[in-house]
Chains A and B, each alone.
Chain A
Amino acid sequence: MSGDTILEVRDLRVSFSLRGRRLTALRGAGLDLRKGETLAVVGESGSGKSVLAKTFLGMLDRNGRVDSGSILFDGKDLARYNKEREWLGIRGKRIAMIFQDPMTALNPLKTVGEQIREAAALHRGLDRVASRAVVLETLSRVGIPEPELRYRQYPHEFSGGMRQRAVIAAAVACRPEILICDEPTTALDVTVQAQILDLIKSLQRELGMTVLFITHDLGVVASVAQRVAVMYSGQVIEEGSVREVFYDPRAPYTWALLASLPQLGVKGEELYSIKGTPPSLFKEVVGDAFAPRNPRALEVDFKHEPPVFPVSDTHWARTWLLDPRAPRIEAPETVRRLRARLARGGAGAAATGGADTGKGGAE
Chain B
Amino acid sequence: MGAYVLKRLGQSLITVSIVVLTVFLLLRLMPKNGYFTREDYVNMDRDARTAYLRNLGVLDDPFTQFGRFLSGLARGDLGRSITVYPRSPVLDVIGEKAPYSLWFGLAALALSMALGLGLGILMARFKDRFPDGAGTVYVTIVRAIPSLIWLFFIQQWVTALLGWPMVFYEDRPVSWVLPTISLALSGIAWYAIWLRRFMVDEENKDYVKFAVSKGLPWKRVMRGHVLRNALVPLVQYFPQQILLTIAGSLLIESIYSIPGMGGLLVSAIRQQDNPLVQALVLLYSVLGVVGVFLGDLLMVLVDPRIKLAESSGKGAAA
Contacts and interface: CB of A to CB of B under 8 A. Distances in A.
A109 B215 contact: no
Contacts of B220: 118
B215 A91 contact: yes
A59 B218 CA distance: 11
Given A99-B206, A108-B207, A108-B305, A88 B225 contact: no
Contacts of B217: 84, 88
A76 interface: no
B113 to A, nearest CB: 20
Nearest to B218: A84
B207 A174 contact: no
B195 to A, nearest CB: 16
Nearest to A105: B210
B22 interface: no
Interface in A144-171: 154, 156, 167, 170-171
A110 B303 CA distance: 9
A119 B214 contact: yes
A93 B206 contact: no
A137 B95 CA distance: 61
A119 B206 contact: no
A167 B304 CA distance: 19
Contact of A107 (B212, B218, B229, B302): B229
A10 B261 CA distance: 72
B209 interface: yes
Contact of A88 (B205, B215, B302, B303): B215
Contacts of B143: none
A59 B212 contact: yes
Contacts of B213: 57, 59, 91-92, 96-97, 99, 171
Q: Which among A105, A154, A174 has the greatest number of chain B C-beta atoms within 10 A?
A: A105
B198 to A, nearest CB: 12
A174 B214 CA distance: 9
A101 interface: yes
Contacts of B207: 104-108
A110 B202 CA distance: 14
B269 interface: no
Interface in B153-209: 205-207, 209
B305 A107 contact: no
Contacts of B228: 109-110
A340 to B, nearest CB: 43
A133 interface: no
Contact of B216 (A104, A119, A154): A119
B232 interface: yes
Q: How large is the interface on A (under 10, 10 to 19, 20 to 34, 35 or more residues)?
A: 20 to 34
A156 B210 contact: no
Interface string B219-253: 01000110011001000000000000000000000
A174 B217 CA distance: 16
A123 interface: yes
Contact of B205 (A57, A104, A122, A171): A104
B206 A91 contact: no
A97 B232 CA distance: 28
B206 A105 contact: yes
Interface string A107-134: 1111000010011001100000000000
Given A88-B217, A104-B205, A167 B212 contact: no
Nearest to A106: B207
B211 interface: yes
Contacts of A170: 210, 214
Contacts of B212: 59, 91
Nearest to A173: B214
A39 B294 CA distance: 54
Nearest to B229: A109
B98 to A, nearest CB: 37
B209 A122 contact: no
Contacts of A88: 215, 217
Nearest to B203: A62
B214 A118 contact: yes
A107 B215 contact: no
A123 B215 contact: yes
Contacts of A104: 205-207
Contact of B305 (A90, A97, A156): A156
Given A93-B215, A107-B207, A122-B216, 6 more contacts: A59-B209, A59-B213, A96-B213, A99-B206, A107-B225, A118-B220
22 contacts: A59-B213, A84-B218, A91-B212, A91-B213, A92-B215, A96-B213, A97-B210, A99-B213, A104-B207, A105-B206, A107-B211, A108-B229, A109-B229, A109-B302, A110-B225, A118-B220, A119-B214, A119-B215, A122-B216, A154-B304, A170-B214, A171-B214
Interface of A: 57, 59, 84, 88, 90-93, 96-97, 99, 101, 104-110, 115, 118-119, 122-123, 154, 156, 167, 170-171, 174
